[in-house]
Structure 1
Amino acid sequence: MTVLTNTPDLAWKARLAGLLYLVIIIAGLGAELGLRGPLINFGDADATAAAILAAPGQFRLAIAADLVMALCDAGLAILLYMIFRTIAPGLALTAMVFRLIQTALIATSLMALLTAWLFLAQADQLSDASSLALVFLDLHAHAYDLGLVFFGVNSLIMGLLVGRSGVFSMAFGAGLAIAGLVYLTGSGLRLFAPEWSPVFAPTYALTILAETAFCLRLLLQKGVDRAEFT
């Protein structure tokens, strides 16, 4: 079985990947939970409109954070392919493609947020701007979950690659695989059985734990100069 060779080249790629991963985690959680989440109440269009209009900078900053996350995610997808392609080129390429599809869907979903903002910015000219804006905010949330379906598949494949790497502990691979199952299950519920989604929501803590652990492991990767063995 082919495994990774721990070299300085692998180390710098791993650390750069870890840095991008850290930005993704901070920007993604910051945008969804810290910035946008407090402004949106899907059960009250008028309250949501009032909250966003009262804090336009906060709403725009959430969009900017999501954009940064998407850019870093594209870079991370390529870097992880470069790291793991020696183990299984086909699997590594498949993982990269699924992650890039997720990135494209999440980036495209930002248009729904911008559309919602345009409706609210012209509320004085539209009779039902608040309701229309809420529809597009909900569309963004569903598009995000659709993207996580592809990310769930990516996480399952990455779990296999990490477990077979010979450099990273199999525990990190298992954690990523579990995260993939959570993403697939959670998105499936959100899209097809939304009444069960709130019950399942706490399990997303497992994805944060698994991805943060792998992120930190990448940041701490140290290469071994081949000359030491000659």
Structure 2
Amino acid sequence: MTRSVEDEGTRIEAQPDTTTCGPTCLHALYRHFGEDVDLDEVIDTIRRLDHGGTLDVFLANHALGRGYSAEIYTYNLGVFDPTWFEGKVDLAAKLEAQEAAKDDDKLSIATAGYLEFLAAGGRLRFADLTRTLIRRLLRDGHPVLTGLSATYLYRSMREWGPDDADDDIRGLPVGHFVLLTDYDRSTLEVGIADPMAENPHGAQRYRVHIDRVIGAILLGSLTYDANLVVLRPGHEHEGRAP
């Protein structure tokens, strides 16, 4: 199902701790686009949740603040209703109405992030997550940041407690951020740049069959992930990518 690849192309550092996978992926994207920015700076300036992690939208907002364009393809049905993407719908108004109707702290945090995202010019998409979509998004050679289920991607045990101990009985699924770097049509594999140095694949660069990647992204909805974040440089960054 998987095979290692040499560490070439998209370079990614090892995440400093168990909760900084998102900022580490974003840092690798900035570097891909030619920006010389310190990883610690990225980590320190991204909004974090109480448990220390973050959300895809906060990563996108950070990039918008640096002059990038940002699109999010979302599959998180805990935040978005599919009918909101049919015709001309005021997504901000729908998000605000939903927050008022539901007593959910995490939803409120995510809603604030998405309202900021929309106000800053970010674009939200809802499209079938298919091989064709992933191929198209990777066709121009730029990585795509995704929040997904590490439990499904790695086929690892669910985790439990403050130390994230493996526990197949009490454990809960775990979310994670990685970069999708390329697609090989001959093997149907997607290249992954993974900020977790000690992961079950044994390397930070490896390849996974596209069907497992699709499943992992969709199951990211269990942990408020399930998004593809597509960033592109704005005018102030154009021409700087190596």
Q: TM above 0.5, one fold? A: no
TM class by smaller structure: under 0.3
TM-score scaled to structure 2, two decimals? 0.23
**Larger RCO: 1 or 2 (CA < 8 Å, sep 6+):** 2
TM-score scaled to structure 1, two decimals? 0.24
